[in-house]
Structure 1
Amino acid sequence: MTVVILLQALFALSVARHLGTLSTGRALLTLALFVPESIARRLLNDYDDFKRGVDVPENARRGSALALGLSMRRVRAVGLVCFAAGAGTMGWLLYTTSPWSLVAFPLSFAVLVYSGGPVPLGHRGLGEALDFVAGGFYVVAAVIWVNVHRMPLAGVTAAATAGFLFAATMFHNDLRDATEDIRAGKRTLAHALSPLASKVCYAVFVLGPFPCLAVTAYSVHSWRFAVPLVLLPYALWLVVGVARSRLGGTMPSWGHLPRLLTAVFALLSLAVWI
């Protein structure tokens, strides 16, 4: 996921580059802050899954910190240190853009609360909303804001593109793991919706990025921002696959969502910078 988050930051910088002049040092610092932030997100999520019984030693998720035999106390400590480093860097960038920008800083802590704080909002059906706002929209909007100090329509729609992609990735995961999550006392959006409503919601999340990309391209008068629209058939295939499934284990593999998300970020970045 570190690679995905760095691609998200590069996606945001690609939009920012079209909206104003970038400072090389500031842009590199923006990219660098997402390394500890993404590590923190992963480690704190692994610790929370262990603490709440989603992951147990005899049946830990492949690739999780528990499955790798790491000390979960140290996993939590390192996650908190990495989160502090990323949040501190973001705070400095916001402050040096405008002291008033710090009003957005509490959203950084929403990510911590969602990932594994004392009241994990992801266990109360708000995971997708938090992923849309804090994981997707806020990250892209903040990167654009601290680098070009403005947020026109193209910036808003680019941020919404990321929001939909992250919400879709989370929702697919929650639909797939609904049975296991409820056994561990974790209630997600998948438990609050009927199967039909879940499929409609899934379609909105997966297809939502594409009108946002079209509006972004139109706003900046550049075909380069429309390049990721070539992925629309792939997204439609995923939506149809989920619509025809019974949800859960019969759905298309969750791996398609990170691929879609990565491809959107990578294609737009390549189109803008090359």
Structure 2
Amino acid sequence: MTETATEISRTEAWLMAARPHTLPAAAAPVIVGVGLAVHEGLFAPLPALAAFVGAALIQVGTNFANDYYDAVKGVDTDERTGFTRVTQSGLIPPDEVKRAMYSTFLLAVLVGVYLVYVGGLPILVVGLVSVASGIAYAGGPYPLGSHGLGDLFVFVFFGVVAVMGTFYVQAAALLAAPLSLGVPAGTVTQQAFLASLPVAAISTNILVVNNVRDLETDREAGKRTLAVLVGYRASRAEYVGMLALSYLVPAYFWASGAFGAVVLLPLLTVPYAATVAGTVLTETSGEALNPALERTGKLLAVHSLLFALGMVL
């Protein structure tokens, strides 16, 4: 057990494993999905709440999986400069972290039973694929995060699927009978897809910062993240490109005439985003990038709140 492990209580260790600072990635898509549903007159509070609880459980379960698998596979070492990993540092035994991972995903499945009742077969398929992908991100014979697919995973599941899924279950609750076998009309829309892109982009940027920070140690450990594959310059270009996408979508919504100028509220966060981007573009140390990672999470939360508010108003 490391010196760190002797100074941290068990409760603190489990909080570190759950990584509550990543929960904006679970809340943001629900906030945006609710904002669009209110705009469309399709807000349904109970399905929206269940969508958030399910998303949060999948996020935490994925965090447990990442902590456990990266430790047992030797990806996390003492040279790592990021936040403390509880399995690698000896704070919590590996078997307990593994059980917590499966228990959390099981709870997500239980919440999903209600969402399947509301949304039918499409939600069952999406839910099972989301849980399987959460495990496969760091585990299994072909871990996504170790083969350059982590960014795509986050973009799709914590962005597009999460926002569209939140909108879908609310719309299905009002427009369709329970346990539908198909996709009811009006539940999957182009606007829902477009609204998901800013969340997908900034959520991906959280991972980009993480992988830029860990690029050298991941390379040494044989973990081939996208940052390891493409290097610092392309990873930083990805960060800037994702930020641009997150601001282009509100501008498109306004220019399309479907929303008023208030949908441009997310542009208020541009100065903050520029400051964080400045750090990502120039730094590689954990001392600088750990705060940048947290600030990217805060940017996701504020941007999503303002975007949802703009759609509502």
**TM-score, with normalisation over the residues of structure 2?**
0.76
Residue matched to 2:183: none
Q: Which amino acid is the alignment partner of residue 118 of structure 2?
A: T
CA RMSD of aligned residues (A): 2.8
Which residue identity is paired with 1:249?
S
| Cα 1:9/1:70, change in 2 over 3 Å | same
Greater shift in the superposed pair: 37-46 or 217-226: 217-226
Select between 216-225 and 127-136 the one with higher mean Cα deviation: 216-225
Match of 1:130? Answer: 153
Q: 8 Å contact 1:157–1:213 — kept in the other structure?
A: no
The structure 2 residue matched to 1:117, chosen from 140, 145, 148, is 140
Aligned residue number for residue 9 of structure 1:
30
Cα distance in 2 between the residues matched to 1:32 and 1:254: 23
Per-residue deviation, 1:268: 3.1
Tell me the secondary structure at the aligned position of residue 257 of structure 1. Answer: helix
Contact 2:79 2:217 in 1 (8 A): no
Which amino acid in the other structure matches residue 206 of structure 2? Answer: T
AA at the equivalent of 2:284: G
8 A Cα contact 1:55 1:61, kept in partner: no
Instruction: State the AA in 2 paired with 1:107.
Output: V
Query: Which residue of the other structure, out of 258, 261, 279, is the alignment partner of 1:223?
Result: 261
Residue correspondence of structure 1 range 138-149 to structure 2 within 5 A: 138-149=161-172
Alpha-carbon distance in 1 for matches of 2:129, 2:113: 11
Q: Cα–Cα, structure 1 residues 97 and 27, in superposed 2: closer, same or farther, change >3 Å?
A: same
1:139: how far off? Answer: 0.9
Cα deviation per residue 1:104-127 (whole Å; 9 max; x = unaligned)? 345312222114334211100111
- Name the amino acid aligned to 1:258: G
Q: Secondary structure at the match of 1:208?
A: helix
CA contact (8 A) 1:19 1:148 kept: no
Instruction: Mark the structure with the bigger radius of gyration.
Output: 2
Q: Which residue of 2 aligns with 1:86?
A: 108
1:115 and 1:261, CA in 2 relative to 1: closer, same or farther beyond 3 A?
farther
Q: Does 1:22 align with 2:43?
A: yes
The residue that corresponds to 2:284 in the other structure is 248
Paired residues, what number? 272
Partner of 1:171: 208
Q: Aligned runs of 1:251-266 on 2, under 5 Å?
A: 253-266=292-305
1:36 to 57, 73, 94: 57
Report the Cα offset of residue 46 of structure 1. Answer: 0.9
CA offsets 1:25-81 (integer angstroms, 9 cap, x no match)? 222222222332222122111111211223347979544333471222111111112
Residue by residue over 1:233-264, the C-alpha shift from the partner in whole angstroms, topping out at 9 and shown as x without a partner, is 33234444444x2x522965333311211221
TM-score w.r.t. structure 1 length? 0.85
CA 1:239 to 1:60, structure 2 compared with 1: closer, same or farther past 3 Å? closer
Query: Residue 164 of structure 2 contacts residue 192 of structure 2 at CA under 8 Å; is this kept in 1?
Result: yes
Which stretch has the larger CA shift, 226-235 or 184-193? 226-235
Q: Where does the alignment leave 5 or more consecutive residues of structure 2 unmatched?
A: 1-21, 173-186
Q: Does 1:158 align with 2:195?
A: yes
Separation in structure 1 between the aligned mates of residue 128 and residue 25 of structure 2, nearest angstrom: 23
Displacement of 1:103 in angstroms is 4.2
Q: Which moved more, 1:252-261 or 1:90-99?
A: 90-99
| Deviates most, 67-76 or 153-162 | 67-76
Q: CA deviation at 1:94?
A: 4.0
Closer/same/farther in 2, CA of residues 102 and 59 from structure 1, 3 Å limit: closer
Any unmatched runs of 5+ in structure 1?
none
